[in-house]
Amino acid sequence: MSTLPYKKPDKKNVFRQIFQNISDSNNGLKIMFKESSTIRRLAPIEIIVGAAVGIIFHFIALEYIIMVLFLSWMFIIETMNTAVEEVNDLVTLEENERVKRSKDLASASVWICHIFYIITVFGFMGMHLANFAWWNAIIPG
């Protein structure tokens, strides 16, 4: 196994490198929103339903913050899932059980994020229906 030689960071072009990293990240986001069917189809439905449930049941700001955190987590995991699939497709396009398992595992992590978000939204809804102010236990006053 060969390793790449260590290269000292180029301190002269640090800002150019920062802007290049930002540009690369923006390209990744474009790819993500263009190619991920989960982000294009399922996430908007979850966002709209979550917001509607929140409005109907008068969620507090903390509940919306928690929902946004779960959605952010879902986007991060979906991005990693897409990267895993891209790398696996780069390795081989032939049928391969280990590649399939790797893709399935990455996909499972996305599914878990969706389940947690749905449980969170409907859990908050259930607590509002039961008149259980859970936030009183953690927010003083």
CATH number at residue 118: 1.10.287.3610
In a domain, 61, yes or no: yes
Read off the tokens for 63.
Answer: 């509940």
The pLDDT of residue 56 is 97
Lowest mean pLDDT: which of 33-42, 79-88, 117-126? 33-42
Measured CA to CA, the distance from residue 121 to residue 53 in angstroms comes to: 7
Q: Which amino acid makes up residue 65?
A: I
Q: What percent of the chain has pLDDT over 70?
A: 96
- Whether residue 74 contacts residue 114, with contact meaning beta carbons closer than 8 Å, is answered with yes
Global pTM?
0.79
In a domain, 8, yes or no: no
- Number of folded domains that form the chain: 1
The pLDDT of residue 5 is 79
What would the pLDDT profile of 1-60 be if each residue is shown by its tens digit? 567 777 776 777 888 888 989 999 999 888 888 888 888 888 899 999 999 999 999 999
In a domain, 129, yes or no: yes
Burial class (CB within 10 angstroms; exposed 0-12, middle 13-18, buried 19+) of 31? middle
Q: Which domain holds residue 129?
A: 17-137
In a domain, 75, yes or no: yes
